[in-house]
Amino acid sequence: MDTSFWQIVALAIVQGIAEFLPISSSGHVVILATLMGATAEQFDVVELNIFLHLGTFCSIVAYYWREIIRLLTEDRRVVGLLVLGTIPAVAAALFLKATDLDHMLESPLVAAVCLLATGLMLLWTSRQTGGDADYRKLPWWQALAIGVAQAVAILPGISRSGTTIAAGLKTDLRPQQAATFSFLLALPAILGASTWEVIQRLRHEDAGPQLSLPELLGGAVIAAVVGYVSIALLVRVLEKKRLHYFAWWCFFAGGGMLIYLATR
């Protein structure tokens, strides 16, 4: 399947919005691919994914550059917490690969059902006010628990930001602190996913590049700009304790896809 300019723009916008807002970027990519008459595998252009992930990575760095500098200086303990929190996601990915269950990651049915589950989880967060804890003082087991929540989000339709922020609120982190830890935890996850995609790309050296460098860079810039705005929006929504508002979009997208699959 050839990737047109507008498909690149659509994917970049979806990536920038859904990577950070609690509505699942992977679920929306699967749904978008289905609606455009392709499988997720056909829709998956490896080098474009790499650049889109690069764009969202830059969004986090641009928004949280002060916190990242502190990670390298006074907050080095947090680096260990982030590593610990990343282990469950790595284990989940390896498990799916080893058991050949990774085909579920391309299933529109799985994406639809998981979006409904994300909606229910977001409604649950309306009852979670959080506490006054600081992410820099998280006990190791709570960081691991947030990492387990991130691992569940490997399924399409389960929001990574939604699950990790919800888990952070459950550990009594302040809402903004939960968001900060969630997005810092995304850095190794995005870097790991991008590294894996680069390895996969290098294994298929005979397959020439499908997109030009300007197209790839354009997608990355769009994803970065949209991603930065999405982070700012999510932080503002969290401050107003309205994270559950996103549940209604998840119900709409997930329910709509179930109806589409049942009637096509």
Residue count (the chain):
264
> Collapsing DSSP states into helix, strand and coil, what is residue 139?
coil
> Collapsing DSSP states into helix, strand and coil, what is residue 138?
coil
Q: What is the DSSP code (8-state) at residue 132?
A: S
**Percent of the chain scored above 90 by pLDDT?**
58
Average pLDDT on 76-97 reads 92
Residues 49, 54, 55, 56, CA torsion sign: positive
Greater confidence (130 vs 262) lies with 262
Which of these, 85, 209, 213, 107, lies nearest to 151 by C-alpha position?
85
Greater confidence (32 vs 133) lies with 133
With a cut of 80, say whether residue 209 has pLDDT above it: no
From CA 244, how far away is CA 246, in angstroms rounded? 5
Instruction: Determine the pLDDT at residue 205.
Output: 56
For residues 152, 110, 117, 36, the Cα torsion angle rounded to the nearest 10 degrees is: 110
Instruction: Determine the pLDDT at residue 201.
Output: 66
* Other Cβ atoms within 10 Å of 152 Cβ, number: 19
Instruction: Determine the pLDDT at residue 102.
Output: 77
**Partners of 133 in the beta sheet?**
173
From CA 262, how far away is CA 264, in angstroms rounded? 6
With a cut of 60, say whether residue 227 has pLDDT above it: yes
With a cut of 90, say whether residue 223 has pLDDT above it: yes
With a cut of 60, say whether residue 45 has pLDDT above it: no
Instruction: Determine the pLDDT at residue 100.
Output: 78
With a cut of 70, say whether residue 38 has pLDDT above it: no
With a cut of 90, say whether residue 203 has pLDDT above it: no
**For 161-192, b where at least 16 C-beta lie within 10 A, e where not — what string?**
bbbbbbbbbbbbbbbebbbbbbbbbbbbbbee
Q: How far is CA 229 from the centre of its chain?
A: 15
Instruction: Determine the pLDDT at residue 84.
Output: 96
Residues 98, 101, 103, 107, CA torsion sign: negative
Distances (CA, A) of 59 to 85, 248, 257: 21, 26, 29
The region of weakest confidence among 33-47, 104-118, 207-221 is 33-47
Q: For Cα atoms 46, 60, 49, give the angle at the middle one, nearest 5 degrees.
A: 5
Domain boundaries, the chain: 5-263
With a cut of 60, say whether residue 2 has pLDDT above it: no
Instruction: Determine the pLDDT at residue 78.
Output: 95
Greater confidence (167 vs 192) lies with 167
Q: Are 199 and 79 in contact (CB under 8 A)?
A: no
Q: Which two tokens stand for residue 100?
A: 């050949």
With a cut of 70, say whether residue 198 has pLDDT above it: yes
Greater confidence (207 vs 236) lies with 236
**For 131-145, b where at least 16 C-beta lie within 10 A, e where not — what string?**
eebebbebeeebbeb
Q: What is the DSSP code (8-state) at residue 4?
A: P
Q: What confidence tens digit (pLDDT) does each residue in 105-128 have?
A: 889 999 999 999 999 999 998 887
Q: Are 117 and 158 in contact (CB under 8 A)?
A: yes
With a cut of 50, say whether residue 1 has pLDDT above it: no
Instruction: Determine the pLDDT at residue 187.
Output: 94
Instruction: Determine the pLDDT at residue 117.
Output: 97
From CA 230, how far away is CA 13, in angstroms rounded? 10
Q: What confidence tens digit (pLDDT) does each residue in 142-176 have?
A: 999 999 999 999 999 999 999 999 999 999 999 99
Q: Which two tokens stand for residue 169?
A: 């609120």
From CA 138, how far away is CA 80, in angstroms rounded? 11
